[in-house]
Structure formats: C-alpha cells, structure tokens
Structure 1
Amino acid sequence: MKLTNKQIQFLRGQAHSLKPVVQLGANGFTEGVLAEIESALAIHELIKVKIPAEDREELTLYVEAIVRESKATKVQLIGKTLVLYKQAKEPKIILPKAK
C-alpha cells in the first residue's frame, strides 16, 4: 500500500504513544516473530517492533525482511523501533484522503 506524506504524518502521530508489541529476540527474525507481527497488525493495524540489532547494516536487513514478509508499510524507523501499518479488512484507522 502506497501512503501519501499526509497519511504517513498522520500515522506517525497515531504511533507516538504506542509501546512496542513485538520484540525480536536472540534468534532474530523467525517464523514465530513473523506470525506475531502479522497477528498484531491484523488486530491493531499500526504497531511498533523493537529490533535489537548490533549495527546499522543488520538493522536495515531486519527492517527490509520484516516489511517484505509481513507485506506491511514502513511508516518510520526511530532508533531501533520500527513502526508498521497494514490496513485490516475492516479498517479501524481512518486515514486522511489521498489527493
């Protein structure tokens, strides 16, 4: 899903008060973690994922893999916290209209 700048700004505001609901463990990005992310996205639509990577390259690889496998949209990355959005079949978050 392609988001406009206005929609991304709106989602950033919505995500501000959220706590991370999924955290990658010592095993990294596993099928279990992917299942948790997909489940959380189906329930909440907008989530934060904590990625305890050692360096920037590792963090970038995790982010790319999570976005690709979950088919979610990356809203932003702050430090080691990734904000993801995936619209549910019955949307809970009403996005501003795209121009």
Structure 2
Amino acid sequence: MLTGKQRSFLKKEAHGIDPILQIGKNGVTENFITQVENALEARELIKIKVLNNSFLDTKEVGNEVSKKADAEFIQSIGNKFVLYKESEDNKTIELPK
C-alpha cells in the first residue's frame, strides 16, 4: 500500500511518460494482463490508454487491471490511467519514505 506522499511522487513521475499499451473493444484479456505484467517488470511505472471505441470507464478498467496484475492503481486522467509495481529485477524508482 502506498502512502499519499509516494502516490504524489509517482503522479509527478508519470506526467512525462507516454502510454505504452491500449485497451480497445476487446477489453481486458489474459494476453493484455500478461503484457501489463511484463511492462511493469521492465519499467515499474506505466501509462495505459483506453480507446474511445471500447466504451469502458477508465477508472473501473484501471482498478480491474491493477487487481489482475497485482499492481497499484495511481490515477486516471481522461482516457488514460497509471499503474505502478515495484520490479523484482530492474528496480529503478526510489519511493520517498
């Protein structure tokens, strides 16, 4: 569980990154969750875009993906959301205490 200070730090870090994955009309599939887990292991902090043709609520999808990928839901803005999970092998983000 992240503290408010850590969540705020991650929001600031996520501001400059571009979405690397997209959720379309197929929704959240097992293959998509595998891609999310791999991306989180490599980068720790990722941004995902929900396409307009999916008709899904961004916050609901973000929470669903975070639960399935065992990650922390950081925020959703518009049609994008941010996830964080500490990497086991490639730890690059040092969270404040």
TM-score relative to the length of structure 1:
0.86
Q: How many residues align?
A: 94
The residue type equivalent to 1:54 in the other structure is: F
Q: Distance in 1 between matches of 2:59 and 2:74?
A: 14
SS in structure 1 at match of 2:81: strand
Provide the alpha-carbon RMSD of the alignment.
Answer: 1.4
1:48 match: 47
Q: Distance in 2 between matches of 1:59 and 1:7?
A: 22
- CA displacement 1:1-22 (0-9 Å, x = unmatched): x111111111011100100011
Q: Distance in 1 between matches of 2:60 and 2:74?
A: 16
Matches within 5 A, 1:59-98: 59-90=58-89, 91-97=91-97
Q: Distance in 2 between matches of 1:11 and 1:73?
A: 11
TM-score relative to the length of structure 2:
0.88
Q: Distance in 2 between matches of 1:13 and 1:3?
A: 15
Shift of 1:80: 1.3
1:39 match: 38
Shift of 1:54: 2.2
Matches within 5 A, 1:3-22: 3-22=2-21
SS in structure 1 at match of 2:41: helix
Q: Which runs of 4+ in 1 moved over 6 A?
A: none
What residue ranges of structure 2 are gaps of 5+ in the alignment?
Answer: none
